[in-house]
Amino acid sequence: MEKLNALYAQSGGVTAVINASACGVIETAREHGHAIGKVYAARNGIIGALTEDLIDTSQESDADIAALKHTPAGAFGSCRHKLGSLEKNRKAYERLVDVFSAHQIRYFFYNGGGDSQDTAFKVSQISRELGYPIICIGIPKTVDNDLPFTDNSPGFGSVAKYVGVSIREAGMDVASMALTSTKVFILEVMGRHAGWIAAAGGLAAEKEGDSPHIILFPERPLQVENFLSRVKTCIDRYEHCSIVVSEGVKNAEGNFIADQGLVDAFGHKQLGGVAPVIANLIKEKLGYKYHWALADYLQRAARHIASQTDVEQAYAVGKAAVEMALAGKNAIMPIIVRGKNHPYSWTIGEAPLEMVANVEIKMPDHFISADGYGITTACREYLSPLIQGEAYPPYHNGLPVYVTLKNLPVAKKLKTAFDIA
Amino acid sequence: MEKLNALYAQSGGVTAVINASACGVIETAREHGHAIGKVYAARNGIIGALTEDLIDTSQESDADIAALKHTPAGAFGSCRHKLGSLEKNRKAYERLVDVFSAHQIRYFFYNGGGDSQDTAFKVSQISRELGYPIICIGIPKTVDNDLPFTDNSPGFGSVAKYVGVSIREAGMDVASMALTSTKVFILEVMGRHAGWIAAAGGLAAEKEGDSPHIILFPERPLQVENFLSRVKTCIDRYEHCSIVVSEGVKNAEGNFIADQGLVDAFGHKQLGGVAPVIANLIKEKLGYKYHWALADYLQRAARHIASQTDVEQAYAVGKAAVEMALAGKNAIMPIIVRGKNHPYSWTIGEAPLEMVANVEIKMPDHFISADGYGITTACREYLSPLIQGEAYPPYHNGLPVYVTLKNLPVAKKLKTAFDIA
């Protein structure tokens, strides 16, 4: 009798540690070779599953799979693609059953954020609705840290560390330059709907005067006069001012400041970039020389400065997903459960996919300081453990060595193609 | 008899390793305590020297001075301030003599780029023109790598490493996202007049298909149609396209593309940012979804990923400056002299300040590939040794531990203030 196979896929924006989860899945499945046959990976997330574009991970060496643990981005490709409901999009689910069935796939592991856990939940319904016995486990991942139930999301800790390290360094730079040159430095970070990543910048400010001096959160509409006065106070007091701004900051009317925007030389609206708008405002109203940086993908791809805690947790949820599947569980997602803060301890728990899907967790109000420009002690207590430890990748010739898998395709067995709507 | 003192100062844009040079100066001076009394540091470069705003580094512990080796930015503050010629600005030079004389300063070490070496050269003329026996040694520093005589400039190697690491990581990210989302990633890096930093991104491209696929150099005017066609070819071939663009890229008419620029919602011209202009061009003409990052200060402050080679060389030129001064040399700058490439070897040489001042070295033409979008093997051979080795700083609580010196002021001895013009 052929053994039952597993399918693993990555979804949504990738992170510095999503491949560590892939490593956890594949290594754990290999340890349970008596129970699980091959681990296939869907190329580009659920799209690869629908189009029968599968990768045979058994063709990869143990060393290459181990190297996933220190390799950023999505080793099998990711996608942004939502499955409609089973009622409205039954053909897609029937197609999945065809693909699963053709390749003896009984375990499906979907690694992603809120939208992706929605997909995972829908796939888990196949068993009941279409009668094909698939076990579906979601694996959490998102730099946005907005998944419910889990204490934190794998991927976030490394972005948090990157932002903390970067604003500490750039803040020291602007402090050096302030007398005759740049007085204000602005770092724009991700987080369209929640200020978790911006808040992480606050970890760098350990004592009076440390950078960042101001954090602008999506949770707090920008009060222009108050903000400018705060900038001026910083310069009067410290001779410079370092600011972390979330891409999701809104004006008093509730519109994204990044969208109020810039127009290029051709008159076209220029999307992206709240930092230059803030910088211009400061230059215009206060006259200070500024510099600004937009970290963009650098922050979520920065495996070179990944958090050891994050890497371990990302691996652990991958491993747990396989163990849960083998224990006969279904339609759940392994989560991080915090034990103590001092010393930090955590274990793996589980949450039902049905309740995880499409829920976004905001920053608690009491994590933002009363003036709206910093983080509270409670926030620091929460964030600090997540950036602990440096999980450096190996280097060769001065650059990190990241693995590129062979990603050999599995021969297609279905006679028909499938059109992604 | 009181021993003769030294004055050290930092100038121009700071780097991840300029403090390693400061460490080299101070530690070496401490080793020669029989010959050198105190090492003072001028607060904020030459301005501190002119205003008698001096710091007594003898008040700092050996451990804190040693920590400068892993601390980015300018520990004593920097400045952008050019001294006029001795003829036109005689008062400033007379003031320096007053300050030097009041504090028994006979050695002056000025740590900076081309403009700063011009200042150092002028100070070195004091001895001959004003009869005060000052020995002046320049210490090279610049991320731009544009100083003459020296094989490379301390500060550059670490930026080069940062850019190589970052584009490798972000390139893998966009490759993962390309099927359904972002297809083009653009990283803007420093280098207003020369493409050294952009070229360093090319180190990440070790084999066909690796990021970056395109480098835009200030040395090559942007040919829009040709560039767009190249982007399209990349996407056709690799499904994604990673681009490193130098801030100094010009259009066919020779104007900075960053200046052709953006206008904000208030109609004000928005300076800075060639990346968004390139991104918009691609979106407009080819329709691809893009992301872009602007590294700005992050790249030159990134001590967390500094090159070990760079740190060692920065320390060595600081150390050599003191040794040269003690050997009675004057008006020179220690330089890096390359020995072999395999294995890389280097020694310290010297160059006369008179010939260093105000000379900018461009990238050799044969370092840019024939198509204008990449680096040649010769360029790779030159750049690769400069990014070797990882000189990680210590960490505490997940963040790098950088030293903040006490920077205690030296009591002023002059009765007059000095007005910086």
Cα angle for residues B99, B101, B106 (degrees, 5° grid) = 105
pLDDT digits (tens, 9 = 90+) for B403-421: 999 999 999 999 999 998 6
Q: Indicate whether A18 and A72 sit together in one domain.
A: yes
pLDDT at B212: 98
> Which candidate from B164, B177, B293 shows the least CB-CB separation from A295?
B293
> Is A157 within 8 Å of A110 (Cβ atoms)?
no
Q: Indicate whether B313 and B294 sit together in one domain.
A: no
> What is the average pLDDT score of chain B?
94
Coil, strand or helix at A413? coil
pLDDT at B302: 98
Residue of B nearest to A257 (CA): B265
Q: What b-and-e string marks burial along B59-98, b requiring 16 or more CB atoms within 10 Å of the CB?
A: ebeeebbebbbbbbbbbbbbbbbebeebeeeeebbebbbb
Would an 8 Å CB–CB cutoff place B174 in contact with chain A? yes
Segment B28-39 mean pLDDT: 96
Q: Indicate whether B196 and B89 sit together in one domain.
A: no
Please state, in angstroms and rounded to a whole number, the distance separating the CA atoms of residues B180 and B159. Answer: 33
Would an 8 Å CB–CB cutoff place B256 in contact with chain A? no
* CATH code, B39: 3.40.50.450
User: Is residue A193 situated within a structural domain?
Assistant: yes
pLDDT at B265: 47
Cα A5 from chain centroid? Answer: 27
Which helix (H) or strand (E) is A96 found in, with range?
helix A90-102
pTM, entire model: 0.97
Please state, in angstroms and rounded to a whole number, the distance separating the CA atoms of residues B139 and B320. Answer: 9
Q: Which of A371-385, B122-136, B339-353 has the lowest mean pLDDT?
A: B122-136
Q: Across the interface, do A392 and B388 touch by the CB < 8 Å criterion?
A: no
**Residues facing residue A346 across a β-bridge:** A338
Whether residue B343 has a cis bond before it, omega within 30° of 0: yes
pLDDT at B102: 97
- Residues ≥6 apart with Cβ < 8 Å to B106: B4, B5, B6, B100, B133, B134, B135
Please state, in angstroms and rounded to a whole number, the distance separating the CA atoms of residues B386 and A45. Answer: 39
User: Is residue A186 situated within a structural domain?
Assistant: yes
> Which candidate from B180, B276, B302 shows the least CB-CB separation from A79?
B180
pLDDT at A357: 83
> Which candidate from B284, B305, B384 shows the least CB-CB separation from A397?
B384
Q: Indicate whether A118 and A167 sit together in one domain.
A: no
Q: pLDDT class for B192, splitting at 50, 70, 90?
A: confident
> Which candidate from B78, B302, B304 shows the least CB-CB separation from A177?
B78
Coil, strand or helix at A74? coil
User: Is residue B324 situated within a structural domain?
Assistant: yes
Q: Please report the residues numbered 182 through 241 in chain B whose beta carbons come closer than 8 angstroms to any beta carbon of chain A.
A: 185, 187, 203-204
User: Is residue A421 situated within a structural domain?
Assistant: no
Q: Indicate whether A295 and A320 sit together in one domain.
A: no
Residue of B nearest to A187 (CA): B298
Catalytic status, residue B371: no
Examine the pLDDT at B206 and tell me if it is beyond 50. yes
> Is B197 within 8 Å of B345 (Cβ atoms)?
no
Q: Indicate whether B122 and B232 sit together in one domain.
A: no
> Is B153 within 8 Å of B113 (Cβ atoms)?
yes
> Is A218 within 8 Å of A181 (Cβ atoms)?
no
* CATH code, A206: 3.40.50.460
Q: Across the interface, do A166 and B298 touch by the CB < 8 Å criterion?
A: yes
Q: Indicate whether B192 and B285 sit together in one domain.
A: yes
pLDDT at B270: 52
pLDDT at A360: 85
Q: Indicate whether A260 and A316 sit together in one domain.
A: no
pLDDT digits (tens, 9 = 90+) for B213-226: 999 999 999 999 99
pLDDT at A265: 47
Segment B12-33 mean pLDDT: 97
Tokens 């991958």 locate to A318
Would an 8 Å CB–CB cutoff place A280 in contact with chain B? yes
pLDDT at A192: 87
Q: Indicate whether A297 and A161 sit together in one domain.
A: yes
What single-letter amino acid sits at A213?
A: H
Q: Which of A115-124, B57-66, B104-113, B302-311 has the lowest mean pLDDT?
A: A115-124
Q: Name the residue range of residue B253's domain.
A: 156-301
User: Is residue A272 situated within a structural domain?
Assistant: yes
Q: Please report the residues numbered 58 through 87 in chain B whose beta carbons come closer than 8 angstroms to any beta carbon of chain A.
A: 71-75, 77-81
Would an 8 Å CB–CB cutoff place B364 in contact with chain A? no
User: Is residue B411 situated within a structural domain?
Assistant: no
> Which candidate from A175, A180, A294 shows the least CB-CB separation from B294?
A294
pLDDT at B259: 77
- Closest to A207 (Cα-Cα) out of B65, B404, B55, B392: B404
CA atoms within 13 A on the CB side of A391: 28
Examine the pLDDT at B15 and tell me if it is beyond 60. yes
> Is A280 within 8 Å of A294 (Cβ atoms)?
no
Tokens 């991700």 locate to A190
Catalytic residue among B144, B146, B151, B310: B144
Residues in chain B with CB shorter than 8 Å from the CB of A395 are 390
Residues in chain B with CB shorter than 8 Å from the CB of A173 are 14, 72-73, 297, 300-301
User: Is residue B374 situated within a structural domain?
Assistant: no
Provide the sign of the torsion angle of the four alpha carbons A173, A302, B240, B206, taken in this order. Answer: positive
Give the other-Cβ count within 10 Å of B407's Cβ: 15
Cα A219 from chain centroid? Answer: 19
Please state, in angstroms and rounded to a whole number, the distance separating the CA atoms of residues B278 and B244. Answer: 11
User: Is residue B419 situated within a structural domain?
Assistant: no
Q: Indicate whether B160 and B294 sit together in one domain.
A: yes
Would an 8 Å CB–CB cutoff place A406 in contact with chain B? no
Give the pLDDT of chain A (421 residues) as one tens digit per residue: 467 999 999 999 999 999 999 999 999 999 999 999 999 999 999 999 999 999 999 999 999 999 999 999 999 999 999 888 888 999 999 999 999 999 999 999 999 998 899 999 999 999 888 999 999 999 999 999 999 999 999 999 999 999 999 999 999 999 999 999 999 999 999 998 899 999 999 999 999 999 999 999 999 999 999 999 999 999 999 999 999 999 999 999 998 888 765 555 445 555 558 998 999 899 999 999 999 999 999 999 999 999 999 999 999 999 999 999 999 999 999 999 999 999 999 999 999 999 998 788 889 999 999 999 999 999 999 999 999 999 999 999 999 999 999 999 999 999 999 998 7
pLDDT at B231: 98
Please state, in angstroms and rounded to a whole number, the distance separating the CA atoms of residues B206 and A13. Answer: 26
Q: Indicate whether B252 and B191 sit together in one domain.
A: yes
Task: Indicate the number of domains in chain B.
Answer: 2
What ipTM does the predicted assembly reach? 0.96
Q: Across the interface, do A170 and B44 touch by the CB < 8 Å criterion?
A: no
Q: Indicate whether A31 and A122 sit together in one domain.
A: yes
pLDDT at B159: 98
Most A CBs within 10 Å, among B399, B404, B405, B420, to test the A interface: B399
